[in-house]
Chain A
Amino acid sequence: MSSGRVQPYLFVLPLLACVAFFIYNLALMLFESTQHHVLAYPLERRFSGFENYVRILQDPMTRQSLINSLVWVFGTTLPTFVLGLGLALLLNQVFFGRGLYRALVLSPWAISGVVGAFAWAWMLNGPFGVLNDALVRIGLLHTRPAWLALPETAMLGVVISSVWRGLPFFAITYLAALQTISRELYEAAAIDGAGVASRFRYVTLPMLRNVLVITLLVRALWSFNFIENIFLMTYGGPANATTTWSFYLFQMFFDAGDLGYAAAMGMLLFVGLVAFAAVYLRVIRPAEVT
């Protein structure tokens, strides 16, 4: 009989290992954050208490990176959300060639971040980028600015490449959710005299609410941690204009080798994200609808 009680845990053992690694990771991060630990100087390693956290508070770069992170997270999440919903609504219509069209427009999801980032970096190139070429041809521009090398536009460039890559997954998810809404609901609304706009407002949105709430949250949390496009396209530059919190953390870790400082930034990020998720879910309350 005792094997019956142990059996479930044997089945989920891989997941327990995963969670154990996660907890070990968290503990290690917490421990390292209390150490003065620069990889190049292992002998100087010592317990330093809250020193790293105090340094983070005093570092002007962390403040800028936090602002950049907020711009980055809102800048990528909101357009991806709105465009993803729009694309899903379109794909849910009946039109000729829909299957092929859907396969094509959703394909950026399958493309590696490296390839996508390179393609966009080159399209946004100053002298030889196709965006400038097209804008000059139509007469909207007379010079060829290097979008990613200008502090004012670099973030926009990285954001666009990220929206491009994130859009398909949002569209797939919303399309799947749209297809679970029963046709009868729309018919009933139409009989009650609801137009296109009010059907969207009173049928589609409430039915999608949970999915929208969860995808927005997941995407925002994921964006906070995501650095690949920044790493590949601008490396935080120019003049730190695209250095987000996570990218600064990455630089402190890999370029400066300051493990203690990076771990403290990681702890603050983790706690911040958990707090954000808790507040968000409390305010928006996804379960309310069901």
Chain B
Amino acid sequence: MAVRRATFDAQAVRTLSLRLPLVLFAVFTLFPIYWLARSSLMAEGALVRVPLQYAPLPPGLENYILAFGRIDLGRAVLNSALVSIGACVLSLALVLVAAYGMSRFRFRGRSLLLLLLVATQLIPQIMLLVPLFVVLGTLGLLDTLAGVTLAETLGTLPFSAILLKQFLDQITPELDEAAMLDGCGRLQALILVIMPLLIPGLVAVTIFNFITVWNGLILPAVLLLSPENATLPVALVQLAASNSNSWGLQAAGGMLNLVPTLVLFGLIQRFLVGGLASGAVKG
């Protein structure tokens, strides 16, 4: 009897020591998202009535309709999509070739290049803005979506290259050699033989980049001056600045920004852990 009692207690302690932190973590991470969704569905008046109402009953879509009227959200979503997709595609094409070069060739300056790629991450992002201004100005791309796309692509390259190289290192170079014996050139071998095997890595890098660029604030805020070029995060900051007391409106705008990345994240998160486990962390 005493033995059964003891195992029961141990079981209870184990369950509690697992369940309690699980609940606490869930509350900490999810409550802000719930609160944002709740606020986006409530009328402004109801948001400032104390004590607060914790559930959005009855829910309404007024804030969403209002948000679309107050700023050109459709345009902002389109701009964000153009910049994010453009930067992802461009980055993918460049990084595929570059990471392949880093993984397969032993050339003079290779380790220095890796070191410098890491060092690029140490410069304050704000300080990158001056040279970006100069370079984009020379190219005539200031205040254009193409300019921001280029700048964002440049920002994504170092980390993407390091990440994708880890995936490439897992694929044996004998495959490339076999393809080249069959008459493929290097690029052909990369595209026809290696790329299909690299799809998990390419997906991971692309989604990582998409989330980063889609959520980026500083670069578009500084490099885009015309309001019609504003990306979604910039438009949200402008919306908040001109309607500082309209929390429901801001929450609705926030939800529009959040939904696409959350859906993407839901699709890849399982795979992200697996991908990191197989590559980036070990290597």
Contacts and interface: CB of A to CB of B under 8 A. Distances in A.
Given A107-B265, A110-B264, A95 B123 contact: no
The interface residues of chain A, by DSSP majority, are classed as helix
B170 interface: no
Given A110-B262, A115-B258, A225-B124, A18 B154 contact: yes
A108 B29 CA distance: 7
A215 B280 CA distance: 12
A21 interface: yes
A167 B29 contact: yes
How large, as a class, is the contact surface on chain B?
A: 35 or more
B276 A173 contact: yes
B161 A15 contact: yes
B29 A21 contact: no
B244 to A, nearest CB: 11
A86 B21 contact: yes
Nearest to B135: A21
Nearest to B114: A15
In this complex, the member of B54, B110, B265 whose beta carbon has the largest number of chain A beta carbons within 10 angstroms is B265
Contacts of A15: 98, 101-102, 113, 117, 157-158, 161
Contacts of B113: 12, 15-16, 19
A119 B29 CA distance: 12
A176 B281 contact: yes
Interface of A: 5, 7-19, 21-26, 28-29, 32, 83, 86-87, 90, 93, 95, 99, 101-116, 118-120, 122-123, 127-128, 130, 133, 136-137, 164, 167-168, 172-173, 175-177, 179-180, 211, 218, 221-222, 225, 227-228, 232, 246, 249-250, 253, 259, 262-263, 266, 269-270, 273-274, 277
9 contacts: A7-B105, A8-B105, A9-B107, A12-B98, A106-B265, A111-B215, A115-B257, A118-B251, A274-B122
Interface of B: 18, 21-22, 25-26, 28-30, 32-33, 35-36, 39, 47-48, 50-52, 54, 94-95, 97-98, 100-102, 105, 107, 110, 113, 116-117, 119-131, 134-135, 154, 157-158, 161, 186, 211, 214-215, 217-218, 233, 236-237, 240, 247, 250-251, 254, 257-258, 261-262, 264-266, 269-270, 272-277, 280-282
